[in-house]
Amino acid sequence: MAADSMEIDDSLYSRQRYVLGDSAMQQMAQSSVFLSGLGGLGVEIAKNIVLAGVKTVTLHDTKQCETWDLGSNFFIRQEDVLSQRKRAEAVYPWVAELNPYVHVDKSYATLDDNTDLSFLRTYQCVILTEARLSLQKRVNTFCHSQQPPIRFIGCDVYGICVRVFCDFGEEFEVSDPTGEEPKEIFIQTITQDNPGVVTCMDNRTHGLETGQSVRFREVNGMEELNGTARQVSVLSPHSFAIGDTSHLQPYGHGGFFVLVKTPRTYCFETLERQLCDPQVLTPDFNKPEAPLQIHAAMMALDTFQEQHSRLPNIGCLQDAEVLLKLTEEVNARLSNKAPVNAELVRCLSRTARGALPPLAAAVGGLASQEALKALTGKFAPLQQWFYLDAIEVVRPLQSLSAEEFSPRGDRYDGLRACIGESMCLELHKLRVFMVGCGAIGCEMLKNFALLGVGLAKSSGEICITDPDLIEKSNLNRQFLFRPHHIQKPKSTTAAVATLEINPDLQVDAHLNKVCPATEGVYSDSFYTRLHLVVTALDNVEARRYVDSRSVSNQKALLDSGTMGTKGHTEIIVPNLTESYNSYRDPPEEEIPFCTLKSFPAVIEHTIQWARDKFESAFVHKPSIYNLFWQNHSSAEAVLQRMQARESLEGAFQVVRLLRRRPSQWEQCITLARLKFNKYFKRKAQQLLHSFPLDTRLKDGSLFWQSPKRPPSPIEFDLKDSLHFTFIVSTARLFAGIYNIPYSEKDLSEEAVNRILCDVKVPEYQPSEKPIETDEMVKKPDQMKMSLSSEEEREAITQLEEAIAANNVTPERLQMQPLQFEKDDDRNGHMDFVASASALRARMYSIEAADRLKTKRIAGKIIPAIATATAAVAGLVALELIKVVGSYGFESFKNCFFNLAIPVVVLTETAPVKRAHIRNNIYFTIWDRWTVCGHEDFTLSDFMNAVREKYGIEPIMVVHGVKMLYVPVMPGHSKRLKVTMHKLIKPSVERRYVDLTVSFAPEADGDEDLPGPPVRYYFSHNADGETP
């Protein structure tokens, strides 16, 4: 993003633009940040704000690189330690290369109680980490007193405890507190009353709060409301009052309302004032007093450092008692306080010198987002403290000897101080499978490297897989990648970058998808070697599949995901928790076929219509065309079969494509012009012919009323840039699928106009073909629709003519299907979708969307920002330690957060449910029964074996989609004597199959009772494995 011109580099920032918006992005590009302290937390913040795209960042640090730093700072290397380089010097080049648009400076100057702070006036935001409380107070007071105030953020991480403090001045205005896009909601009725009551159409929820304002548009009858904003008073989820409407015209029909976003001003107090009466965010409602308890403990730690010029010694009981006494003294002085938590204070004392890298990552993500808020006024700021502890990580380790936590002079000393040597060794031995190497994947690999997960010398391994190549838009979040990596595989590139952070890791990088087709690679024996699975995926179906494989193989799964500033983590542990597949989100609401085809109401409908047109014309039809000619040897053979009245699926559509196939650029322009006429003029004419404006329904109401919008035919005008863009982009796409060359000169307005002058556009002839209005009707499959005899004769004639004209050469029986690529502006794909959508919106009087919004909806782009990615990966990595330590159920935490609001909610994982079959026989999703057979083992033997082993006899057996035994099915009783080998027909290498069984209900008429899967082994010694 060039700060001078304020142009935003969409190829780099596209995903983040959808989170922050252009105004905030441009404000960031003019802002300077001073960041002091380059330990694990400082470097996390530096990474995130440089990726986001501020103007300048000054990295300040006075310390020298130590071996200890290798375990917390992912930009410090062994050679930096050996050459006694300063941390700022070591980190600077790595941070600077993260974003070419950000100017990065470094400073080693002393910053203490005697420093002249006037140099800070050149910055809009100051962030202090690793600074004594006295210095934080002094710098904060200076920043708060400036006009305008310099936004101040103080962050600290000591062992298991972290804090973030924000002070953005006494009047900090936020333009958009939530960042949520307001939705257009259609109106059912508005009463003419005092107060007037608005009811939403189709019982849709409005999502409003009393005191908010909405703006009305397109209301018929009560037209005085249009364009006005009214404050609402919520009556129900579907209705609200808007004040006196009794003097307005009676409501007729139609219209919609949109929430009006109103700026909000926040007032902040200084650190000095907030210390005694802190305003805190509560992340874990199971521990509501924790933030205030950590506040007191960390203030006591500040006092300890002032008195002793050091932190408490690792494992020193005397220091712990001193800190506990100090905490009690501090707590007594607080006006907002909770009872002192002695366990927390002792754990803080023991770990204060240590570092949990995932904790720094998690809080670094949150603190970075606060810095972006400070610079842009986008999203509600943190008021004013955020506290988090990881006591669940260390609580089970308190009985270990002090020796466990003592330093050994290596990169893991900081981690060891928190979790002990034995746990470090377990992490080294870990064998992890991570699916996905995108934004979360890169962050997870960084966490693995700092934790020492999967060391080669300990027989550990990190296996990663991702089939994708690196694109420029990835560089904004996927911090292991650089511009010279573009078009290289994500997994192998990430593996090399991870080894730079920690060369002792063993990383095995694959380029595979994880799906049923790759079960030969990611087989049960592959999963057997693993300790746990981590997903770093961006779609639900892939998650569901990986979850099913993890459950089947009894492996823990750590899942996470982000959407914009929102993030979630889910921890799935064998025999303790439910799995990802235990819950199903409601399916996404599909746009009805008739709405897309004829009655769009909102811009999302026109964008989806344009995207569908792209798919149909330039992907689906060429693919069907190619498949047809691959399956049929020649045009002559097809003609003979058609003449013999044979039914050939798709023949009519394929012959029509063959007849209309262009061979020159001019014909592509002609096709595009005819498409324009069909889409934007003839369609409207036909709709108005079938449903004139005064058409009424059976109940007497108007047909054309909200949400239905009557269309207006569009007259073609080459001077209209939208018309020109549609013609040229459509022609280019036709040229692409038909392999027709064209030059840059052919795309000029003059050249296109010359061709269009000769195009004969047929006159509109009204059709009596019915137009679908039923929202329940699905889109018909064109390939399977029956043809009339007239259409059959037409197809035969057209194919005869093509053969006679020698138009059935191998080249003409081949097309080039396109693949929609939203991020390449040179290919014309988005030009077509954006212009087609905008023209359709114009035809239906729908407010058009800009190209950015069109691209997001058409490309199904998930908004993303590095801050949220870093936070989820940190939270997941904390849980990984607990999984490795085989902690109890109550230790694990799932998390949902929205950094925009901000809200962070930590909850216990969902306990696994026990399903009752009968007679004290229960099972969970983690259970799997096993039966071992042999070559002559029959279905009857299998059912008897289940009864003998588990005390209940199955009445139905299913393998995949094949029913092996259902008593009511004809002939199935004979199968009881057939061998399992013959029924299942396994491949030679197949050792077992998983079967679904059901049991008889206790009462007649009830449904069959489900049971756990039964794994049937074809022999007792399948590869020596004894189940």
Q: Would you state the structure tokens that stand for residue 56, as one six-digit string?
A: 């300048």
Rounded to the nearest 10 degrees, the angle between the axes of helix 866-884 and helix 439-451 is: 40
pLDDT at 782: 59
Per-residue buried b or exposed e for 395-406, using 16+ beta carbons within 10 Å of the residue's own CB: bbbeebeeebbe
Q: Would you state the structure tokens that stand for residue 776, as one six-digit string?
A: 């329940």
Nearest to 902, CA basis, from 178, 16, 44: 178
Per-residue buried b or exposed e for 737-775, using 16+ beta carbons within 10 Å of the residue's own CB: bbebebeeebbeeebbeebbeeeeeeeeeeeeeeeebee
The pairing of strands 213-217 and 229-231 is antiparallel
Non-local (6+) Cβ contacts of 821 within 8 A are 827, 829
- Kindly indicate the confidence band of residue 4, based on its pLDDT and cuts at 50, 70 and 90: very low
CA distance 445 to 426: 17
Instruction: Give the mean pLDDT of 256-262.
Output: 93
- Kindly indicate the confidence band of residue 509, based on its pLDDT and cuts at 50, 70 and 90: very high
CA distance 605 to 84: 61
pLDDT at 573: 97
What secondary structure letter does DSSP report for 681?
I
- Residue 672 phi, psi (nearest 5): -65, -40
- Residue 822 phi, psi (nearest 5): -80, -25
Which run of H or E residues covers position 162?
strand 161-167
Residue 1021, CA atoms < 13 Å, CB-side half-sphere: 1
Q: What's the pTM value of the predicted model, to 2 decimals?
A: 0.92
Per-residue buried b or exposed e for 73-87, using 16+ beta carbons within 10 Å of the residue's own CB: bbbbbeebbeeebbb
Instruction: Give the mean pLDDT of 416-425.
Output: 97
Phi-psi region of 94 (alpha: psi -120 to 50; beta: other; left: phi over 0): alpha
3-state secondary structure of 92: helix
The pairing of strands 32-36 and 125-129 is parallel
Does the pLDDT value for residue 586 go beyond 60?
yes
The distance from CA 197 to its chain's CA centroid, rounded to whole angstroms, is: 38
Nearest to 477, CA basis, from 878, 863, 42, 952: 863
Nearest to 165, CA basis, from 287, 298, 63: 298
Q: Please spell the DSSP secondary structure of 804-871, one letter per residue.
A: HTT---TTTT--------TT-TTSSHHHHHHHHHHHHHHHTTPPPPPHHHHHHHHTT---B-HHHHHH
Between CA 847 and CA 857, with CA 853 as vertex, the angle to 5 degrees is: 105
Instruction: Give the mean pLDDT of 123-142.
Output: 97
Burial class (CB in 10 A: 0-12, 13-18, 19+), 304: buried
In the chain, pLDDT over 90 holds for what percent of residues? Answer: 80
CA distance 864 to 856: 12
pLDDT at 15: 94
- The residues facing 217 across adjacent strands are 256
575 vs 1004, residue with greater confidence: 575
Strands (DSSP E) contained in 979-1019 are 992-999, 1009-1010, 1014-1017
Return the minimum-mean-pLDDT range out of 240-244, 373-377, 973-977.
973-977
- The residues facing 938 across adjacent strands are 979
Q: Would you state the structure tokens that stand for residue 870, as one six-digit string?
A: 């870093």
Q: Would you state the structure tokens that stand for residue 415, as one six-digit string?
A: 């981690």
pLDDT at 1020: 73
pLDDT at 345: 97
Q: Please spell the DSSP secondary structure of 333-398, one letter per residue.
A: H-SS-----HHHHHHHHHHTT-B-HHHHHHHHHHHHHHHHHHHH-BSPPP-SEEEEE-HHHHGGGT
Does the pLDDT value for residue 547 go beyond 50?
yes
Q: pLDDT per residue over 151-210, tens digit each?
A: 999 999 999 999 999 999 999 999 999 988 898 899 999 999 999 999 999 888 999 999
Nearest to 388, CA basis, from 228, 613, 548, 157: 157
CA distance 718 to 1020: 77
3-state secondary structure of 682: helix
Distances (CA, A) of 617 to 621, 662, 676, 831: 6, 14, 14, 15
Q: Would you state the structure tokens that stand for residue 750, as one six-digit string?
A: 């003059």
Q: pLDDT per residue over 291-343, tens digit each?
A: 999 999 999 999 999 999 999 999 899 999 999 999 999 999 999 889 999 99
Does the pLDDT value for residue 125 go beyond 60?
yes
Does the pLDDT value for residue 773 go beyond 90?
no
CA distance 679 to 112: 70
In the chain, pLDDT over 70 holds for what percent of residues? Answer: 97
The distance from CA 765 to its chain's CA centroid, rounded to whole angstroms, is: 48
Which run of H or E residues covers position 656?
helix 651-660
Instruction: Give the mean pLDDT of 375-387.
Output: 97
Residue 93 identity? P
CA distance 14 to 479: 16
Q: pLDDT per residue over 549-580, tens digit each?
A: 999 999 999 999 999 999 999 999 999 999 99
CA distance 661 to 659: 6
- Kindly indicate the confidence band of residue 3, based on its pLDDT and cuts at 50, 70 and 90: very low
Non-local (6+) Cβ contacts of 769 within 8 A are none
- Kindly indicate the confidence band of residue 1006, based on its pLDDT and cuts at 50, 70 and 90: confident
Nearest to 674, CA basis, from 621, 711, 643, 716: 716
CA distance 198 to 208: 12
Q: pLDDT per residue over 979-994, tens digit each?
A: 999 999 988 888 899 9
Non-local (6+) Cβ contacts of 205 within 8 A are 237, 238
Q: pLDDT per residue over 26-79, tens digit each?
A: 999 999 999 999 999 999 999 999 999 999 999 999 999 999 999 999 999 999
Non-local (6+) Cβ contacts of 1014 within 8 A are 928, 929, 930, 931, 946, 954, 994, 995, 996, 997
Non-local (6+) Cβ contacts of 1005 within 8 A are none
pLDDT at 783: 53
pLDDT at 1025: 43
Does the pLDDT value for residue 2 go beyond 70?
no
3-state secondary structure of 267: coil
Does the pLDDT value for residue 224 go beyond 50?
yes
CA distance 219 to 345: 62
Yes or no: say if 902 and 380 are a contact pair by the CB < 8 Å rule: yes
- Kindly indicate the confidence band of residue 827, based on its pLDDT and cuts at 50, 70 and 90: very high
What secondary structure letter does DSSP report for 1013?
-
Q: Would you state the structure tokens that stand for residue 125, as one six-digit string?
A: 């935001």
Does the pLDDT value for residue 840 go beyond 90?
yes
Nearest to 253, CA basis, from 347, 345, 189: 189
CA distance 605 to 591: 7
Does the pLDDT value for residue 89 go beyond 70?
yes
Q: Which of 161, 166, 437, 594 is catalytic?
A: 594
Is 594 a residue of the active site? yes
pLDDT at 781: 67
Yes or no: say if 470 and 484 are a contact pair by the CB < 8 Å rule: no
Q: pLDDT per residue over 894-904, tens digit each?
A: 999 999 999 99
Mean pLDDT, the chain, integer: 93
CA distance 323 to 342: 10
- The residues facing 915 across adjacent strands are 923
Q: Would you state the structure tokens that stand for residue 199, as one six-digit string?
A: 């009811």
640 vs 444, residue with greater confidence: 444
